[in-house]
Amino acid sequence: MSKSTGGRFKSVALFVGEPILIDDAVAEWFEASTGRAWSPEVLDIIRPPEDRLSSVIATVSQAGLFGTRSGAWIKGIRNEPQDDIDEFLAFAESGLPTDAVIAASCKSLDKRGRLYKWFDKHASIRDLRLATERNGRLRKEEIASLVAERAMKHGVAKPSTAVVQAICARAGTEVGPLVQEIDKLCMGADRGGLTKTQVEQVMTDQAGAWVFDLTDAMGARDGARAQRIIDSLIDQGQAPLALIGLLATRVALLLEARRALAELPSPPALDSADAFLKRSMGAMPGWVQARFPSNYYSYIVFRDAARFGEDELRQLHAMLLRLDLALKSSPLPADSGLSEVVQRACAAPQRPSLY
């Protein structure tokens, strides 16, 4: 998760990643590089574009002269405006004291820009971003490392594989909200550490992964598995309207994909993602290629769509929309008719596979 480079300025660093991770990293870096205790007051905060980047010059030049501040922290460093960067880099390359204390942070910074190149050559870069899969989801090994680090920070025992897997299943694509959920779990952990049950009961499902599981169960006509998913969501306190809305959106996407499959001159290669992306995606009409990116996520959509008929998806979507309207106009039981709609879909005859 964390990658570093080094240069001649040992107390100057660029941190790239989510603010919630950067705050702790800056504190650790400050104490390690200066030998002084960290507190938020030791660095003068500079926030571009409200503050000019070149204001670092005055801060660094006066560090320690008029108070306790030891240097500057540029929060949200940017590649513009150019004249501001020119002035800062001119000072950095000619007049920056070797013991200057400067932290700079951002979610991302163009590696081709002069700022990034200067930090890479003369200072250090701490890349705190988490690697992702082709579908945009955070890699499981990155999540596992993050969970271990946050648990250690909170004094919680190293989580088990089952706990990490449960967290991975609920993780979305955003690091910040995930860290907040992990911290929430750690703060509520008992002496025995985190448990899978605690994760299932407390952690918010940020991935919306249940919708893939549910449509997969529906495509397999597995009513029992589909019902277990719905029951679990209701038990977690998920709002029925939100569940219906997300499922309806998913079904609408499957319907688009099913229509696209019907336009292919030959059966799609759905036995693997690579085969589909290489052989079938390029044969799709222009509107399909514009609508669906050529990645693993699109393969999953088309694979699932192939398990339904076009009329079947259209009817299912219409039922979900009617249920949505009914929910908004009158009080209904906890599962709000969602179980009935899903079970009707599961009861339909199994369609022959397209692959």
Domain range spanning residue 172? Answer: 140-202
**pLDDT tens digits, 254-296:** 999 999 888 888 888 888 888 888 888 888 887 887 788 777 7
pLDDT-based confidence at 142, cuts 50/70/90?
Answer: very high
Q: Of 102, 127, 152, which residue constitutes the final position of a domain? A: 127
Q: Is residue 354 part of a domain?
A: no
Q: Is residue 353 part of a domain?
A: no
**pLDDT tens digits, 79-114:** 778 888 898 888 888 867 777 889 999 988 888 888
Same domain membership, residue 326 and residue 260 = yes
d(CA 304, CA 82): 49
Same domain membership, residue 47 and residue 97 = yes
Q: What are phi and psi of 292, to 5 degrees?
A: -115, 120
Q: Is the pLDDT of residue 190 over 50?
A: yes
Q: Is residue 93 part of a domain?
A: yes
Number of domains in the chain: 3
Considering only the C-alpha atoms of the chain, give the largest distance between any 2 of them, rounded to a whole number of Å: 80
Q: What is the CATH number of the domain that holds 218?
A: 1.20.272.10
Same domain membership, residue 123 and residue 95 = yes
Same domain membership, residue 263 and residue 326 = yes
Same domain membership, residue 172 and residue 87 = no
d(CA 105, CA 93): 20
Segment 156-165 shows an average pLDDT of 92
